[in-house]
Structure 1
Amino acid sequence: MSSYSPDLTLAGRLADAADKITSARFRAQDLRVSSKPDRTPVTDADTAVEDAIRELITAERPADTVAGEERGGSASAAGRVWVLDPIDGTKNFLRGNPVWATLIALVEDGRPVVGMVSAPLLGRRWWASAGGGAWLRDDAGEHRLSVSRVSELSDAYVSTTDLGAWTEYHSRAAYLAFLDACWESRAFGDFWHHCLVAEGSLEVAAEPIVNPWDVAAAQVLVTEAGGRFTDLTGAERFDAGTALSTNGLVHDAALDLLRKP
């Protein structure tokens, strides 16, 4: 069984509070939706979750700072920063698709040390802490996670985002060369494909554009499961705008193909 540090225990309480709000508002007939300047949607559930989590953090950890998708803040600030994505997968949430989650990470001086991913409609919660391993709780109970042992890209099961994003933000040619080198690809998307790498169900999850709150929790989850997490240049960062999660064994080969020509 996993051990719970005070910070991990708090992250669990934050996730519990988020789950109550998101579960109640999912498929609500009066759900309010607006658009942010980048044209991505935001619902009243997104803002309610972030406000509730911020209030709890202020009460429990008044010296810590917070960076969230909806209310702002710097995920790269010095000291202890709680990095939040109140609903990762908002488009799924507002379309009635149950694949969404609340993402919570504690970052200390630029390094994620606690990660919590809670997907209540999937009945799954993933978490990790530095030195404490990566874990999943689902209908079958609580399990320690470990990445797969697949060592060749030609045998790798991968998940990436859509072709349009690779074309716009990174390299269409690199994306296609990478997919051609792998065994099978899907687009599970958002938080889920990083969690699946940590579970050992996938070998690679790659994204050409991400925000810090999208992947801070994923970095500690994947690395504590025995994998590697970097940006697409190979730097071990969650705040550089791109992301690559792997089982570690195929990481360098994936990087070689995914780097811009």
Structure 2
Amino acid sequence: MAYEKELKVAQLAVVRAAILTKAVFHEKAKGTVSKDDKSPVTIGDFGAQALIIAAIKHNFPSDEVVGEEEASSLREQKDLSSTIWNLVKDVKLDDPESDALLGGPIKSEAEMLDAIDMGNSAGGDKGRIWALDPIDGTKGFLRGGQYAVCLALIVDGDVKVGVLGCPNLPVDDRELLTEGIGAAATDAEGKGVLFAAVQGQGATSQPLTRGAVTPGHPIHVSQISDVSEAVMCESVEPGHSSKGDNALIAQKLGISRKPVQMDSQAKYGSVARGAGDLYLRLPVRKDYVEKIWDHAAGDLIVREAGGQVTDITGSRLNFGLGRTLTENKGVVAAPANVHPQVLQAVREVLDAK
């Protein structure tokens, strides 16, 4: 199978990172600092990035990584760095063989900081580049909602492998989304999903555990034919998507039920397995540019599950232009059979503005 090792390493790296994020999720104090763009970052973000990049570099040393975080603030805040190191050094999988594949534990705090800073690739359309969001949906993570650990391999600008670890989603692929799923979330028994896809090989899900990964269960987008019955997913944060436009599009499509709001690429995973039907992320301002780590894994997983993912013009998302989706505006994800209908409604609403 093409990319068999890459898939296994990606899955296990996400699992190992999720062990750390789950530990932080249950702490009241999450060591939050603010980045230059005012977005929050936690000790979980830093620790998860270090663990995943260390695993990638152990197995594929010449591969590049586009990661969301960098360690300059930690080099200045020694106490915060030590707190993260105390989390990172103790993380291991329950399966020793899988743990060994990832290179075993990180050996020192300095090595941890260096690993975080290896996420500094400029991206592009040449070579092998991993797009990593160690905690997608940090605000959801902070408020006890949905979040995801996201990793994708991009080869010559094309996404080949995608993995999402969603600790607070139900394991059961048949469990439909509820209105409150994005709020008071839990990773208790029966929660935690690992989604994965390889280009041309379909998409799968399996329980997110601490041990070895399995081939997973094939997943597919919903077989909805009447789009008026669709369950729409949208971001919780109003700064991420225009909810007013979403409401007008829903009205145009005859959708009467309220949208399900949740943070992170858990929305992509939910659409991929048919728990939700549509995911709209519409531009809130003209100068907003999406980051590749926010979409690469989810984009592939939905498409491999039989869905269609485009921007608001109907163009595929282009992950080969650097760290951002500079050519694309917004995201429309839906089962392939209703995607044209949804896209038409999106265009009609946005063109009328």
Q: TM-score range by the shorter chain?
A: 0.7 to 0.9
- 1:203 and 2:259 aligned: no
Aligned residue pair count:
255
Give the alignment partner of residue 227 of structure 1, picking from 304, 307, 315. Answer: 307
Closer/same/farther in 2, CA of residues 75 and 155 from structure 1, 3 Å limit: farther
User: Which amino acid is the alignment partner of residue 207 of structure 2?
Assistant: D
Report the Cα offset of residue 17 of structure 1: 2.1
> Which of 72, 77, 81 is equivalent to 2:129?
81
| Contact 1:165/1:208 (<8 A) preserved | no
* Pairing partner for 1:118 from 165, 183, 186: 165
Instruction: Report matched runs for 1:21-40 at 5 Å.
Output: 21-40=20-39
CA distance in 1 between partners of 2:330 and 2:271 (Å): 16
Which amino acid is the alignment partner of residue 190 of structure 1? S
* Matching residue of 1:100: 147
Paired with 1:235 and 1:78, the residues of 2 have a C-alpha distance of 21
Matches within 5 A, 1:120-135: 120=167, 121=187, 122-135=191-204
Is residue 246 of structure 1 aligned with residue 324 of structure 2? no
TM normalised by structure 2 equals 0.66
Check if 1:9 corresponds to 2:57.
Answer: no
Any idea what SS the aligned residue of 1:149 has?
coil
Contact 2:9 2:55 in 1 (8 A): no
CA distance in 1 between partners of 2:243 and 2:144 (Å): 32
Report deviation, 1:164.
3.9
Shift of 1:33: 0.4
SS in 1 for 2:295: helix
Map 1:131-146; keep pairs closer than 5 Å: 131-138=200-207, 142-146=216-220
* Cα distance between partner residues in 2 of 1:171 and 1:123: 28
Match of 1:126, SS state, is strand
Aligned counterpart, 2:296:
216
Mark the CA change 1:162 to 1:43 in structure 2 (over 3 Å): closer, same or farther. closer
The answer to whether the 8 A contact 1:212-1:241 is kept is: no
Partners of 2:48 and 2:237 lie apart in 1 by 31
1:49 corresponds in structure 2 to 48
Find 2:260's aligned residue among 173, 178, 186: 186
Instruction: Work out whether residues 211 and 241 of structure 1, in 8 Å CA contact, stay in contact via their aligned partners in 2.
Output: no
What is the CA-CA distance between 1:29 and the residue it aligns to?
4.3
**Structure 1 position 226, deviation (Å):** 0.8
Distance change (3 Å), C-alpha of 1:75 and 1:234: farther
Return closer, same or farther for 1:163/1:57 CA change in 2, 3 Å cut-off: closer
SS at match of 1:18: helix
Which amino acid letter does the alignment assign opposite residue 188 of structure 1?
M
| Alignment-derived partner of residue 221 in structure 2 | 147
2:339 is matched by which residue type in structure 1? H
1:151, distance to aligned residue in structure 2 (A): 2.4
* TM-score, normalised relative to structure 1: 0.88
Match of 2:106?
none
CA contact (8 A) 1:159 1:189 kept: no
By how many angstroms is 1:155 displaced?
2.4
Structural RMSD (CA): 2.4
Determine the C-alpha separation between the residues in 1 that align with 2:28 and 2:243.
40
List gaps (5 residues or longer) in structure 2.
Answer: 71-119, 168-186, 209-213, 284-289, 319-324
**Cα distance in 1, alignment partners of residues 49 and 329 from structure 2:** 22
CA contact (8 A) 1:126 1:137 kept: yes
Larger Cα Rg: Structure 1 or Structure 2? 2
* Residue 38 (structure 1) shift: 1.9
